[in-house]
Structure 1
Amino acid sequence: MPHVVTQSCCSDASCVFACPVNCIHPTPDAPDFLQAEMLYIDPEACVDCGACAEACPVDAIVPHTKLSNSYAEYAQINADFYREPRPRTPLALIPVSEVIADQTAKLRVAVVGSGPAALYVADELLKQRGVQVNVFEKLPTPHGLVRYGVAPDHQSTKKVTGLFGMIAAQDNFEFYLGVEVGKDITPEELAAHHDAVVYAYGASGDRHLNIPGEELEGSVAATEFVAWYNGHPDYADRNFDLSHERAVIVGNGNVALDVARILTADPDELAQTDISRHALEALRESRIREVVLLGRRGAAQAAYTLPEFHGLIRKHKAEFVIDKDELVLDEQTVQLRSEGALDPQIERKIELAEEIALRIPGGGSERRIVFRYLASPTGILGDTHVTGVSVVHNKLVTGDDGKVRPQPTANAEVIDAGLVLRSVGYRGKPLAGMPFDYDRAVIPNEAGRVLNRAGGSQLPGAYVCGWIKRGPSGFIGTNKSCAKETVDNLVADFNAGKLPEPHPKVREIGKLVRSRQPNVIDSVGWQRIDQTELQVGAAQGSVRRKLTKLEDLIASAQEPPRHGLNRVLHLGRK
């Protein structure tokens, strides 16, 4: 009875090191680990010990006999990964971390950001003796995109916050939430009060389309819409026009799939999640009945991952539409399919798209999601508000470098819509006082060591991790191996005496922060917020009721959970 990895895999790799027979791949040392959409269990090598399931932080691993109907195909998806034999050792190679040479030495590290990358950095550091980690976050709550980016109907993925809670509960860990580095405290001041600073604040910006009409009302970034329905305090007062029957999403990555799913979901089912109440009420009144996703290339090059596409098709109740005439494959893909040599993940994505294209429209759902391939927006239409999108049809051309690119044709059309969401990628933002590579939108670095400029010399005591280190790539758990690389180099520099001496009064960082930001929220304050949200959610029949107003978050952090519960319930009745 082999175990199977399913859709909610976070690529944390805890299962890899728990497995006694090394049957879970790719491993963090493999060249394809960073690009892997999920991890896979070899059914031939699995000994059914269950160690992987116990280690998984998001409950993504189950015995194959207990797969629900919507997850049944994951047994084959796991097996397909091993279609070609992979070299392996009898046991997974557990990476050995750099160790502080002087066990009496004290190391104080500031971490900027509180998402997965930041907390994995903290975890790696706290495996060492005598290390103090202070985590600085500009928002009043931690966990970054897990809290404000993961879709509310993906609660299994959010279970990784249980692991984050255990990390934050370790000795010598402290939160400084609601503190913006570069505004409330400078990078220079952080460096003066710590031996090292690790910047792990992610990539909160979004990429633009650079087409006419992008500035019109009703044309917004999908990242803003996601933050709105996830209860981000900066977007709690935003309003999105859901009065038109059609919305268009430019892009077809996983975020685009999330947004399409939320826009076409049953609000009563969303009410059981941690979706923000203001978004839930707006979705109850929404007139959107069709969401169109535009992808400039073909089904073989679609940006969504197989796990997310499969989960959407098999579990979501909306009707799906794909025009078979738009399922044109490039010559390279056609040849590889005919030879049986196409990547199994790409093959399955194409097969799912072909399955949808064969369906007869009119499946009974009043809402539908339309996938458009080989289509690029050329302009957003309207005088002051969006009324539609002009689209050009593409053909696929293989260049001399072997890459398949879209090429516009003379065929064009207009799609009527009242809302256009661009979902074409995240982008890192510069931080005042720190170097920045504007071409790659990252802090310039070499294996996590910050450089004074791209290709320049090392900036002593400064390090990076996560998306601001490598760009917006990988998944939640990918940051674990990323953090290990950064921390190993930090510890090596500490052992070599390369870190600058901190200010003699290093322990006064708390006093300095509170003099600048009196409403700073510490670890105890976050625990109060967390308990209050969970209690209110339970009282209202959902997993969590997020506080979305800054003043409510601050007040909740300063009072016992029971008082916070009464106050939030009162707010809910207003």
Structure 2
Amino acid sequence: MWRLLTRVCPRVTGSQALAGLRGLSLKTSPELKVCIVGSGPAGFYTAHHLLKYRESAVVDIYEKLPVPFGLVRFGVAPDHPEVKNVINAFTQTAHHDRCSFYGNVNVGKDVSIEELKQAYHAVVLTYGAEANRTLGIPGENLLGVYSAKTFVGWYNGLPENRKLNPELSSETAIILGHGNVALDIARILLSPIDSLRKTDIAAHALEAIAASKVKRILLVGRRGPLQVAFTIKELREMINLPDTCPLLHPSDFEGLKHIVKDLPRPRKRLTELMMKAALEKPSGKEAERRATACKEWGLQFLRSPLEVIPSNNGKRVAGIRLSVNKLEGLGESAKFVQTEDVEDLECGLMLSSIGYKSYPIDPSVPFDQQQGIIPNNLGRVLHAPGLYCSGWVKRGPTGVIVTTMHDGFETAESVLEDARLGALDVSASKGGFQIMEALLKKRGVHPVSFSGWQKIDNVEVANGKKAGKPREKLLDVQEMIEVANQ
């Protein structure tokens, strides 16, 4: 029995394994009303687990936008449609007869956390990391300097970023960061425009990138090749990008051959691919492809930004001053130390891809400003009974969708365990959305249901079909609401 439960519920604790037994008595257990704030992967995976393992659980998902799916819709690169397939599973969860979606409800503004706690037995915060990490250096507010989050939101059709109108008239761009988002941005900027036309990239971004003069991108990181945060898939895509040549300096990989063999397999394969691109002379078709390439990209290691260099008129970015670093320690945990040496690089576009950051949603919710997370134990918010968290606001903006899935399951299991053991009082019934509906109506807020989202979805797919794309996203919140209400 225990072996079977482990196969059904991978990566479970002893308490999680008990979840498989709950079905024997769930129909007689009291109703558990749970509110989830945020409709990205963390929210939907938490909802899925709650609904699966407690037949008396009722889950309401609140989202500040009229449309669901969070970073799957607004963060995943448009040329990675396969990653967005998780939307199919999330849609199944949303269609569950004990699950409801309420878009266009801004928790913390339209309703407070305390009001939600009055209406539900448990409130789970899964609102992600929507703020930018700033560089904290002179000149980062100059024209032509953008955060990766804002730029990604711009080409992915996030309403708040649709009017960004980035400056793409320079041949050279610098991206600060060595993560997957940094490589995503570089790939989108350098991809052949005909390949982007077949994606769900926002129409305004497609038009701007088609007219872009960016031909050279340098990705700058504070540490060395053994500490890069991107994965082999993204690196391989960059190396094989049509009409584009990788520029990796052989000197950056000196002395790594004897180290690589002892690295964990994923890091070993990633480093070997970088070394191959840097050290091996291409031949045949690959040599021909690189020789005829009209664009290029490269990796710059051991550099930290000191200041953005302004143009002569003091308004635009003209370059960046970097500190030359050295490493202390070994492997992925090695730390960088700035030296007295500096280096200036010219560029007309600079993108900061140094990570996302969560923000405190409500004064009543504990928040660790330094780490940018809600303090918690297995998803239980510390010193706040009935309050839980999941996803990036729980652990920080790291990991992939699978990481978030396990994270959501863990938090859901904490909720279920607390309800079962009495730490969460479910003896009294709760009004749930009925209470919230009255409050929202009084405040002039009109929630968008999942069927309303599906109307938006149908319009977007139809508009995309006309343009030869999988979808053309609606960019205006008011237009979304009007479509949803038709």
Structure 1-normalised TM-score?
A: 0.76
**Preserved contact between residue 514 and residue 520 of structure 1 (Cα < 8 Å):** no
Structure 2 residue aligned with 1:28, among 2, 11, 17? 11
**Preserved contact between residue 226 and residue 332 of structure 2 (Cα < 8 Å):** no
Give matches, 1:561-572, under 5 Å: none
Structure 2 residue aligned with 1:336, among 237, 240, 259? 259
In structure 2, relative to structure 1, the CA distance for the partners of 1:29 and 1:310 (3 Å cut) is: farther
**Preserved contact between residue 185 and residue 516 of structure 1 (Cα < 8 Å):** no
Q: Which residue of 2 aligns with 1:544?
A: 471
In structure 2, relative to structure 1, the CA distance for the partners of 1:176 and 1:327 (3 Å cut) is: same
1:496 paired with 2:479, answer no
Superposed CA deviations along residues 419-460 of structure 1, whole A, max 9, x for unmatched, are 1111111111111131101121111111111113xxxxxx22
1:532 paired with 2:459, answer yes
Q: Tell me the distance in 1 between the aligned counterparts of 2:276 and 2:258.
A: 20
1:406 paired with 2:406, answer no
Q: Tell me the distance in 1 between the aligned counterparts of 2:406 and 2:333.
A: 29
**Preserved contact between residue 254 and residue 304 of structure 1 (Cα < 8 Å):** yes
1:436 paired with 2:367, answer yes
Q: Tell me the distance in 2 between the aligned counterparts of 1:17 and 1:137.
A: 33
Q: Tell me the distance in 1 between the aligned counterparts of 2:221 and 2:144.
A: 20
- Between stretches 303-312 and 523-532, larger displacement belongs to 303-312
Q: How far off its partner does 1:317 sit?
A: 4.5
Q: Tell me the distance in 2 between the aligned counterparts of 1:341 and 1:445.
A: 35
Q: Which residue of 2 aligns with 1:109?
A: 34
Q: How far off its partner does 1:327 sit?
A: 2.6
Q: Which runs of 4+ in 1 moved over 6 A?
A: none
- Between stretches 523-532 and 209-218, larger displacement belongs to 209-218
Q: Tell me the distance in 2 between the aligned counterparts of 1:412 and 1:450.
A: 44
Q: Which residue of 2 aligns with 1:377?
A: 305
Q: How far off its partner does 1:212 sit?
A: 1.9
Superposed CA deviations along residues 248-287 of structure 1, whole A, max 9, x for unmatched, are 0001100000000011112221111111111111111111
Tell me the secondary structure at the aligned position of residue 477 of structure 1. Answer: helix
Q: How far off its partner does 1:289 sit?
A: 0.7
Q: Which residue of 2 aligns with 1:368?
A: 296
Structure 2 residue aligned with 1:124, among 37, 42, 49? 49
Q: Tell me the distance in 2 between the aligned counterparts of 1:417 and 1:512.
A: 51
**Preserved contact between residue 299 and residue 349 of structure 1 (Cα < 8 Å):** no
| Counterpart code for 1:520 | P
Q: Tell me the distance in 1 between the aligned counterparts of 2:292 and 2:216.
A: 14
Q: Which residue of 2 aligns with 1:516?
A: 443
Structure 1 residue aligned with 2:356, among 426, 437, 440? 426
Superposed CA deviations along residues 340-392 of structure 1, whole A, max 9, x for unmatched, are 32222222222222222244795322221111122222211102211101123
1:163 paired with 2:146, answer no
Q: Which residue of 2 aligns with 1:258?
A: 184
Q: How far off its partner does 1:557 sit?
A: 0.7
Q: For this pair of structures, how many residues does the alignment match?
A: 462
Q: RMSD of the alignment, in Å?
A: 2.4
Superposed CA deviations along residues 99-148 of structure 1, whole A, max 9, x for unmatched, are 38553321111000000000001111111212211111111211011000
Q: How far off its partner does 1:237 sit?
A: 1.4
**Preserved contact between residue 326 and residue 374 of structure 1 (Cα < 8 Å):** no
Structure 2 residue aligned with 1:141, among 59, 67, 83? 67
| Counterpart code for 1:519 | H
Superposed CA deviations along residues 295-327 of structure 1, whole A, max 9, x for unmatched, are 121111111122322233235552111121233
Give matches, 1:9-48, under 5 Å: 28=11
Unpaired runs of at least 5, structure 1? 1-15, 20-26, 31-93, 453-458, 560-574
User: Which structure: greater helix fraction?
Assistant: 2
Q: Tell me the distance in 2 between the aligned counterparts of 1:422 and 1:328.
A: 28
Q: Which residue of 2 aligns with 1:350?
A: 271
In structure 2, relative to structure 1, the CA distance for the partners of 1:417 and 1:315 (3 Å cut) is: closer
Structure 2 residue aligned with 1:151, among 77, 100, 120? 77
Q: Which residue of 2 aligns with 1:58?
A: none
Tell me the secondary structure at the aligned position of residue 345 of structure 1. Answer: helix
**Preserved contact between residue 33 and residue 430 of structure 2 (Cα < 8 Å):** no
Superposed CA deviations along residues 157-216 of structure 1, whole A, max 9, x for unmatched, are 111111111111111211111111110000011111111111111111222222221222
1:386 paired with 2:317, answer yes
Tell me the secondary structure at the aligned position of residue 291 of structure 2. Answer: coil
In structure 2, relative to structure 1, the CA distance for the partners of 1:411 and 1:328 (3 Å cut) is: farther
Tell me the secondary structure at the aligned position of residue 153 of structure 1. Answer: coil
Superposed CA deviations along residues 58-114 of structure 1, whole A, max 9, x for unmatched, are xxxxxxxxxxxxxxxxxxxxxxxxxxxxxxxxxxxx955273855332111100000
Q: Tell me the distance in 1 between the aligned counterparts of 2:431 and 2:133.
A: 42
Q: Tell me the distance in 2 between the aligned counterparts of 1:97 and 1:310.
A: 41
Q: Tell me the distance in 2 between the aligned counterparts of 1:189 and 1:309.
A: 46
Q: Tell me the distance in 2 between the aligned counterparts of 1:447 and 1:266.
A: 45
Tell me the secondary structure at the aligned position of residue 97 of structure 1. Answer: helix
Q: Percent identity?
A: 37
Q: How far off its partner does 1:288 sit?
A: 0.7
1:97 paired with 2:19, answer yes
Q: Which residue of 2 aligns with 1:479?
A: 404
Q: How far off its partner does 1:487 sit?
A: 1.5
Q: Tell me the distance in 2 between the aligned counterparts of 1:412 and 1:326.
A: 17
Structure 2-normalised TM-score?
A: 0.89
Q: How far off its partner does 1:409 sit?
A: 3.8
| Counterpart code for 1:424 | I
1:396 paired with 2:327, answer yes
Report 1 or 2 for greater relative contact order, CA contacts < 8 Å, sequence distance ≥ 6.
2
| Counterpart code for 1:295 | G
In structure 2, relative to structure 1, the CA distance for the partners of 1:517 and 1:265 (3 Å cut) is: farther
Tell me the secondary structure at the aligned position of residue 414 of structure 1. Answer: strand
Tell me the secondary structure at the aligned position of residue 274 of structure 1. Answer: coil
**Preserved contact between residue 184 and residue 517 of structure 1 (Cα < 8 Å):** no
Q: How far off its partner does 1:503 sit?
A: 7.4
Q: Tell me the distance in 2 between the aligned counterparts of 1:516 and 1:442.
A: 30
Superposed CA deviations along residues 29-75 of structure 1, whole A, max 9, x for unmatched, are 69xxxxxxxxxxxxxxxxxxxxxxxxxxxxxxxxxxxxxxxxxxxxx
- Between stretches 166-175 and 475-484, larger displacement belongs to 475-484
**Preserved contact between residue 298 and residue 328 of structure 1 (Cα < 8 Å):** no
- Between stretches 442-451 and 514-523, larger displacement belongs to 514-523
Q: Which residue of 1 aligns with 2:388?
A: 463
Unpaired runs of at least 5, structure 2? 1-5
**Preserved contact between residue 153 and residue 270 of structure 1 (Cα < 8 Å):** yes
